[in-house]
Amino acid sequence: MAEKPRTLFEKIWDDHVVASDPGAPAILAIDLHLVHEVTSPQAFTGLRERGLKVRKPGQTVATADHSIPTLDPSLPIADELAARQLRQIEENCREFGVPFHGKGSPTRGIVHVIGPELGLTQPGMTIVCGDSHTATHGAFGALAFGIGTSEIEMVLATQTLLQRKPKTFQVRIDGRLGPGVGAKDIILALIARIGIGGGTGHVIEYTGDAIRALSMEERMTVCNMTIEGGARAGLIAPDETTFAYLRGRKFAPQGATWDEAVARWRTLPTDEGATYDRTITIDGDALEPMVTYGTNPGMGIGVTGRIPSAADVDPADREELERALAYMGLEAGKSIAGQKLDVVFIGSCTNGRIEDMRAAASVLKGHHVAPGLRVLVVPGSQQVKKQAEREGLDSVFRAAGAEWRESGCSMCIAMNGDQLEPGQYGISTSNRNFQGRQGKGGRTFLASPLTAAASAVTGVITDPRTLLGVAPKSAAVSRPTTVEAH
């Protein structure tokens, strides 16, 4: 009898189950463990208390990204707590023999940017990190998800994790995106549709023509924010785009091993006839640039749309909407475009890669940022920074009046001194608009690099298509049309 058709997720899962004892979750082998300074110190302490070693330092890699300053790296770190955290990751890595891409290293950067750019992230792998945006690596067809500190300790100690098998959820994006519409808009539209808990308990696989047409950078943007829809992991089947990105990268297989690896990777895509626990379809042609108006990433609308009022939402969601609008200081029914801004942040593991820098620069070139506006451009890694400088993008940003920084998480999480002040409005290419996420009392609009850059020019939320001189591809809709089949 022929084997039962399996999804991409099921193939990776089956391949990594070490043991499945009755009553216990599966023991899942982990191929790659990424570590950063914020969620790991207590795990190393735990290891030390148990008298254990890092079992597979060669499958572990660490960096410093969250609390590291993005200013001149030769300056001492003003925040004593951050400085201590940064010292600890270095000491822990030295003590336990874990390779560390730290301060001063040309390969340092946001953990989800450096994994792929070093070629560490490969199709078919299991990848974990003490960070919810580990979902990013799913763009390569790897099963990648965020874990807590107890689980970090587990992986350090055993190179495995205990996991219950999640359900599968196919998100198909059909059609072709219009000009000025990109990966960030796909994912914000999806989350607006399913809500921030909509994917709970599931692993999402993104399929469809609009996904196939995306570059690796764009695929990473989509997978990155999967967690914002409640799903721990998002996957895209590997294809020629994936292989072309990986070929020649430092840790990618070389020579004959490369051919073997590609042959293996070609067996990963979901078999014909395999089924998902749930499927939704989104019409890519109908998408427009998205922006959030509220205090979670699911509160998003098209940039030509109006801020919802109580009548537009489910009665159960009214109170939450009202609380969000009160925090944001926004008026229901008003256009989101034209909303005044104080700060623009371009960066993060969602949109801090080279293509994002290029997109932002393409809009800012020949313009100056609006008077009184603070614009911060923070590359996702030192390699992104170097590449951008090679292409002269830093000069475009500087000439436009934007700040060009060292790499790191920066204002995405506001742990390093880069932050919104209470009451300030910021448009941000990052992934979370929770209350206080970008600085206490700060108010965040999430959007794509194109939309953020266009808004930097005008000082108000702006449809990038107006600056790019492109007409919207279709009549604007504020919500994607979707069909759901269980």
Partner 1 sequence: MPEPFVKTTSRVISIPRANIDTDQICPARFLKITDKNGLADALFFDWRFTPDGQKRQPPSFIDEPVNAGRQILLVGDNFGAGSSREHAPWALRAWGVRAIVSTSFADIFGGNALKNALLPIVVSAERHAALQALAAANRDGEWTIDLEAQKVTLPDGDSFAIEIDPFARTMILAGTDEIGYVRSRLPAIEAWEAVHPARVDTLT
- Residues 80, 281: Cα–Cα separation, whole Å: 49
Determine if 384 is a binding residue for ligand SF4 (CB under 6 A). Answer: no
- Residues 229, 270: Cα–Cα separation, whole Å: 22
Nearer to partner 1, 214 or 411 (CB): 411
Specify the stretch interacting with partner 1 by CB under 8 A; choose among 38-46, 304-312, 384-392, 461-469.
38-46
Helix (H, G, I), strand (E, B), or coil: what is residue 357?
helix
Determine if 384 is a binding residue for partner 1 (CB under 8 A). Answer: no
Determine if 413 is a binding residue for ligand SF4 (CB under 6 A). Answer: yes
Determine if 484 is a binding residue for partner 1 (CB under 8 A). Answer: no
Determine if 66 is a binding residue for partner 1 (CB under 8 A). Answer: yes
Size of the site for partner 1 (CB under 8 A): 83
> What is the closest distance, in whole angstroms, from the C-beta atom of residue 133 to partner 1 in the complex?
8
Long-range CB pairs of 149-153 (<8 Å, 24+ gap) are 149/39, 149/40, 149/42, 149/43, 150/43, 150/46, 152/33, 152/35, 152/39, 152/40, 152/43, 153/42, 153/43, 153/46, 153/47
Q: Which does 120 bind (CB under 5 to 8 A by kind): ligand SF4, partner 1, none?
A: partner 1
Q: Which does 179 bind (CB under 5 to 8 A by kind): ligand SF4, partner 1, none?
A: none
Nearer to ligand SF4, 375 or 415 (CB): 415
| Binds partner 1 (CB under 8 A): choice among 4, 48, 50, 398 | 50
DSSP letter, residue 285:
G
Cβ-count burial 394-425 (b if 16+ within 10 Å, e if not): bebbeebbbebbbbbbbbbbbbbbbbbeeebb
Kindly identify the residues of this chain, within the stretch 308-337, that bind partner 1 according to CB under 8 A. 316-317, 319-320, 323
C-alpha distances (whole Å) from 45 to each of 40, 96, 202 are 9, 11, 32
Determine if 62 is a binding residue for ligand SF4 (CB under 6 A). Answer: no
Report H helices in 272-401.
318-328, 348-351, 354-364, 382-390, 393-399
Q: Which does 110 bind (CB under 5 to 8 A by kind): partner 1, ligand SF4, none?
A: ligand SF4
> What is the closest distance, in whole angstroms, from the C-beta atom of residue 110 to ligand SF4 in the complex?
5
Q: Which does 19 bind (CB under 5 to 8 A by kind): ligand SF4, partner 1, none?
A: partner 1
- Nearest CA among 47, 169, 149, 65 for reference residue 107: 65
C-alpha distances (whole Å) from 400 to each of 374, 376, 424 are 11, 11, 21
Kindly identify the residues of this chain, within the stretch 390-449, that bind partner 1 according to CB under 8 A. 413-415, 422-423, 432, 434-437, 440-441
Residue type, 181: V
Nearer to ligand SF4, 278 or 437 (CB): 437
- Binding stretches for ligand SF4 (CB under 6 A): 65-66, 110, 112, 131, 133, 348-349, 409, 412-413, 430-431
